[in-house]
Amino acid sequence: MTAALPGPGGRPTIDQIMPSVGAALGVDAFSNTLGLPESPRYVVFLVDGLGLELLREHADAAPFLASLHNVEDVVCGVPSTTVTSLTSLGTGVRSGEHGMVGYTSRVPATGQRLNALKWDQPLDPMAWQPYPTVLQRLQDAGISATAVNDAKFEGTGLTVCSQRGVPFHGINSVYERLDVVVDVIESAPRSVTYAYESRLDHTGHGKGCTSQEWRAMLTTIDTELMELRDELPRDTTLIVTADHGMIDLPMDNRFDVDTEPRLLDDVTLLAGEARFRHLYTRPGAESDVAARWQEFLGDRAIVRTQDGLEDWFGPITSDVRGRIGDVVVASTGDFAVFSSREFAIELKMTGFHGSVTDAELRIPVLVAS
């Protein structure tokens, strides 16, 4: 695996969390680049959609989380989306290597579009994402490693890509999750458990991340995490992190590319998501497509070809390069690129993420020892 590189803006990235946990557990194969405290037991708890800027803006709604020490300046990586970040967290490498380059992306061998949440193409996730997980490597090093997640996620493509190689404990309620996490942590003197929470992200997409519903859900999760900390053995360190932040988009800043068909000239496939589009072009057309999009969008987006994308994706392997758009469109401000024909469901959402703004990139790494 390639050594850890600084992320966007030279900042540490989400892929450094689990290796730092491994080093803090005393496994020599890993480096503690984030300076986590030495501890015989760790719980890494990811709250989907809990961006650092959102947490600080709504600190009064999450007094427990707001009271914890934060490892500063950590970002999730690009694109700032769940499938990419969970796999970066799970494998300890960035998206240019593990290959989960977006919510949707092209399968180079077929030209079809993969939805990496639904896993709607006949692909072997073990081949699509070839790296072992950090949990698996820790288990091989003698640490008791487990994943605790919703039962419905067991065996899915994303789970295989991001959490494979260790026992998966499927749960069906918050109360069951608390019991299972505590039980598995207590079952061995040296252990690490990964756990996942999705409700805040769902609320943000549906109601918006500035809504009262979102704040209420943040308070609920804050209380649940405080209860988890109280139930864990005293020698356990709890890490609370996230896969991305989120912003709300006004209706008047939603551009439907299907209303400007000239922008789709020479574009053979549209993928990604509203805040971060992958454009796949006919051979040799990428520069013209990029220039056309940048001229039309102006300062509403950053439009790039694949030249120099390593600052966003990390090292890009030959197998992964064909999955990344020949042109990528990263929206700025509160703007996004929609397609009413290809991605109509996105137009019904309120909260979004995926792009390279700090509101979407910055994540907490909260330490409760």
- Peptide linkage before 79 cis (omega within 30 of 0): yes
Domain ranges of the chain: 8-248+357-368, 251-350
pTM: 0.96
Domain 251-350 fold is Gyrase A; domain 2 (3.30.1360)
Interatomic CA distance for residues 324 and 303, integer angstroms:
13
pLDDT tens-digit readout, 166-200: 999 999 999 999 999 999 999 999 999 999 999 99
DSSP state of 255: E
pLDDT tens-digit readout, 88-138: 999 999 999 999 999 999 999 999 999 999 999 999 999 999 999 999 999
Bridge partner residues of 270 (DSSP): 279
- pLDDT-derived band at 53 (thresholds 50, 70, 90) equals very high
What's residue 7's pLDDT? 60
pLDDT tens-digit readout, 139-168: 999 999 999 999 999 999 999 999 999 999
pLDDT tens-digit readout, 328-365: 999 999 999 999 999 999 999 999 999 999 999 999 99
Place of tokens 């998501």: 273
Residue 251 pLDDT exceeds 60 = yes
User: 73 in the Ramachandran plot: left (φ > 0), alpha (ψ -120 to 50) or beta?
Assistant: left
Residues near 114 by Cβ (< 8 Å), separated by ≥ 6? 104, 105, 106, 107, 120, 121, 123
Q: What is the CATH number of domain 8-248+357-368?
A: 3.40.720.10
Nearest partner of 148 among 287, 268, 44, 293, judged by Cα: 44
Nearest partner of 96 among 72, 111, 79, judged by Cα: 79
Lookup: tokens for 353: 């993420």
Residue 306 pLDDT exceeds 80 = yes
